[in-house]
Chain A
Amino acid sequence: MSEVQTVTIEREFAHPPGKLWRALTQPHLIAEWLMKNDFVAEVGHRFNLNGDWGGTLDCEVLEIEPERTLAYRWDHVNDNPAYDLRSVVRFTLEPAAGGTRLRVEQTGFRPEQKQASGGAKFGWQNFMGKLDELLGRID
Chain B
Amino acid sequence: MTPPPDLLLKSLADPTRRAIFERLCRDGEQTVGTLTAHAGVSQPAVSKHLGVLKAAGLVRDRHAGRQTHYSAQPASLAPLRDWTRDMERFWEARFEDLEDLLKRMDQ
Contacts and interface: CB of A to CB of B under 8 A. Distances in A.
Contacts of A9: 88, 91-92, 95
Nearest to B97: A33
Interface of B: 2, 4-6, 9-10, 12-13, 79-80, 82-84, 86-102, 105, 107
A50 B12 CA distance: 33
B17 to A, nearest CB: 11
Contacts, number: 99
A81 B5 CA distance: 11
Which DSSP category, helix, strand, loop or mixed, fits chain A's interface?
mixed
B94 A34 contact: yes
Interface of A: 2-3, 5-7, 9, 11, 13, 15-16, 19-20, 22-23, 29, 32-34, 81, 102, 104, 106, 108-116, 121-122, 124, 127-128, 131, 134-135, 138
Contact of B6 (A33, A102, A113): A113
